[in-house]
Amino acid sequence: MKNKILKVKGMHCASCKNLIEGRVKKITGVEKIEVNFATEQAKINFDETKVSLEKMNEEIKNLGYSFEDNEAKMETKIMEHMGHEHHNEDEHLEHKVQFVFPISVLVFLVMMWDIGARTLNFIPNIPMPMELWNLILLILATVTIFWIGQPYLKAVVRAIKYKAVNMDTLIGIGTLTAYVYSALLTLMPQIGSWLNLPTETYFDVTIVVIGFISLGKQLETNSKRKTGETIKKLLGLQAKTALLWKDGKEVEVLISEVKIDDVLIIKPGAKIPVDGIVVSGFSSVDESMISGEPLPVDKKNGDVVVGATINKQGSFRMRATKIGAETMLAQIIKIVEEAAGSVAPIQTLADKISAVFVPIVLLVAFLSLIIWLLTGNVTLALLSFVGVLVIACPCALGLATPTAIIAGVGAGAENGILIKNAESLQKLASIDTVVLDKTGTITKGEPQITDIISIDKNYSEMEVLRYAAAVEKLSEHPLAVTIVQKAKSEKLELGEVKKFESKAGIGVVGMVNKKKVSVEKFEGNDELIEMGKTLVAIKIGGKMVGKIALSDTLKDEAIETIKKLHRQKIEVIMLTGDNQKTAEYVAKEVGIDQVIAGVLPQEKAIKIRELQDKRKKVVMAGDGINDAPALIQAEVGIAMATGTDIAMESAGITLLGGDIGKIPQSIKLARETMKTIKQNLFWAFIYNIVGIPVAAGILYPFFGLILNPIFAGMAMSLSSVSVVTNSLRLKWKKL
């Protein structure tokens, strides 16, 4: 089974999505296909042994589309992004609009004048014989429909040939009808008088509708591109060259030539080319483009630096650890790209509707044509037929969700919030409970030793520390790291450990000097625990010989974050493997009122489950490595990224820089995005629900009112443009 993302060429409207999906799904060997109109991409799952790309392409070629293999390697993509991509089709559209739009406006003004002259006495008649004006219109309309309107005419031909209708078909039938009818009346007036038809022509409908719809499409393409600008921006962050330290010399090389373990020189003000570790020197680095954090971060020997961030005054050398597609920036781009193209569950509703839409609209249009013809009102029959076809485009419906998702995901990325897919964003909007892991999420995860207590006089405080550190040196737990560091700074000789064993969430055991030594969670009461410290017991040969108390500081933004979450009407719960008393102390300090403590790592997912059983919609925020099962169990898992590894499988959302202040921001972003989608869907629906009956002439018997197809065309373009613009607002929302 193969998974591929392909570029789709030739999509004009939201209903194209259904057409393509319908056709391709029927091919044997195709498991799944998801087409996204906003990104013009198709995600296909298929069996390579049964079906090829060419076969699929053949199938949709008749419908006027084609797939293009777009899976360019990230490296080449980053290399190639400089210089603008050429959008040939878009450019064509632009030229066409430049031609047809002024004509449409002119024709529109003349039409308004004509209406005015007929209804209001003080407006003079158009100083031109009707016949001449008609002839001019005939020429303009002919050019418009056969040149600018080509895609719509092709859609009509396809509809006849392959019985495949989409939005363009509707516009094609509508404008062609108006054109053919008017041309017949103009060129063969005898037919008109023979059938006793009114003398009015509808060239203006053809011209103005095509003109406005083309303009609408052009505006839509522009804003669609703008909603997706984040990726371009991210690509643009990549450095182009690097200063390599080679054989005692500085050599400037292309970034593609940098290899892992190369030593690179970073000068003041320079862009860091790839991910790596500082090996000498000292500086501070502006990481805002990646993490969204405005304050520069100090970098010294051993610190991780990220490609695309910018060095400030200092200068240092770094060893490259990640290059090409492995770099953090490349991972971010990949995640953003995939998320922007993913489908939110809410979209399926819109898709289902637009799938049945086109046939229904055709039916309504023909019905109103027949009904009004039966009443003998040819003008009305024609206007309603064309009007219904033109106003009914579900373009806005198709754009409502994806454009908001793209804008939302982009706004997130610019604030250091990486959203894996649209589904996570949608779910995040409706959660009511946030569960926070204590160590490393609420606290910094860098505990300090506050007390070392000897209980057995055979073991001094330093002996207690030495034995503890001897076992802990094989553990990666933050407590272990701290204990070992302390022992080293006291210059203690750490013995060798044998039979080392780590018990997740409890502690460690091992043999040191033939004695069984354990460092584990202290069970029982102690005033140090009451003070909010984490206490571990050191046992030798099963007997407790000492205790070490550690305390972790809260993250700077922790208190403010909890306040914000409460203001968002979200229940906040602390989940930890630590002692209940310690946990409660920290919880109180930070303003959390609910604590679930003493939970083993493997039980964290069960605790989440229990909350879900109480009908809570839970977000779990943790470090993404230890807490993976809980992150997966939760509605949405939020991982705190600290290093450069961000492609976390278990998390729907990754916060760069381990900043919990981004949790309320993400929730706000999710809520705003969903609000935008709902507004978009509402307006798109309303517009069609009201527009179609009015265009069909339902108001005519009562008020003598009929929607001129010209206004239908304007309304249609306007609705798409307004949906896209509404989505664009997300990009500028302050989080």
For the annotated catalytic residues, the residue numbers are 437
Task: Among 439, 482, 579, 582, indicate the residue that binds Mg ion (CB under 5 A).
Answer: 439
Size of the site for ligand ADP (CB under 6 A): 21
Give the per-residue contact string, 560-579, with ligand ADP (x = CB under 6 A; - = no).
Answer: ----------------xxx-
Shortest separation between residue 483's beta carbon and ligand ADP, angstroms: 7
Give Dmax (Cα) for the chain.
122
Q: Are strands 275-286 and 315-322 parallel, antiparallel or unpaired?
A: antiparallel
CB neighbour burial string for 524-555, b if at least 16 within 10 angstroms, e if fewer: eebebbeebbbbbbbbbeeeebbbbbbbbeeb
Task: Among 64, 410, 505, 510, indicate the residue that binds ligand ADP (CB under 6 A).
Answer: 505
Q: What is the DSSP string of 411-452?
A: HHHHTTEEE--HHHHHHHHT--EEEEEIIIIIB-S--EEEEE
Shortest separation between residue 506's beta carbon and ligand ADP, angstroms: 5
State both tokens at 243: 């200063």
Residue 214 sits in the site that holds ligand ADP (CB under 6 A): no
Give the per-residue contact string, 481-520, with Mg ion (x = CB under 5 A; - = no).
Answer: ----------------------------------------
d(CA 267, CA 324): 22
- The 2-9 sheet, strands edge to edge: 30-36, 41-46, 2-9, 66-69
Contact 411, 665 (CB under 8 A): no
Site for Mg ion, residues 136 to 175, rule: CB under 5 A? none
180 CB contacts (<8 Å, ≥6 apart)?
Answer: none
Q: Are strands 571-575 and 594-596 parallel, antiparallel or unpaired?
A: parallel
The nearer residue to Mg ion, 18 or 626, going by C-beta atoms, is 626
3-state SS record for 339-392: HHCCCCCCHHHHHHHHHHHHHHHHHHHHHHHHHHHHCCCHHHHHHHHHHHHHHC
Shortest separation between residue 449's beta carbon and Mg ion, angstroms: 18
What is the distance in angstroms between the CA of the first residue and the CA of the last residue of the chain? 41
Report residue 619: phi and psi, to 5°: -105, 135
Site for Mg ion, residues 606 to 635, rule: CB under 5 A? 626
Residue 475 sits in the site that holds ligand ADP (CB under 6 A): yes
Give the per-residue contact string, 29-68, with Mg ion (x = CB under 5 A; - = no).
Answer: ----------------------------------------
The nearer residue to ligand ADP, 384 or 534, going by C-beta atoms, is 534
Stretch that binds ligand ADP, among 61-69, 85-93, 330-338, 519-527 (CB under 6 A): 519-527
The nearer residue to Mg ion, 229 or 520, going by C-beta atoms, is 520
Task: Among 40, 437, 463, 526, indicate the residue that binds ligand ADP (CB under 6 A).
Answer: 437
Q: Which of 408, 334, 370, 394 minimizes the C-alpha distance to 727?
A: 408
The nearer residue to Mg ion, 444 or 566, going by C-beta atoms, is 444
d(CA 59, CA 19): 11
Stretch that binds ligand ADP, among 516-524, 557-565, 708-716, 717-725 (CB under 6 A): 516-524
Residue 579 sits in the site that holds Mg ion (CB under 5 A): no
Angle, helices 395-414 vs 229-237, to 10°: value is: 30
Residue 148 sits in the site that holds ligand ADP (CB under 6 A): no
The nearer residue to ligand ADP, 576 or 720, going by C-beta atoms, is 576
Residue 582 sits in the site that holds Mg ion (CB under 5 A): no
Residue 620 sits in the site that holds ligand ADP (CB under 6 A): no
**Could you tell which of ligand ADP, Mg ion, none binds residue 510, using a CB distance below 5 to 8 A set by kind?**
none
For binding to ligand ADP (CB under 6 A), which residues are involved? 437-439, 472, 475, 477, 479-480, 505-508, 519-521, 534, 536, 576-578, 601
Contact residues for Mg ion, defined by CB under 5 A: 439, 626
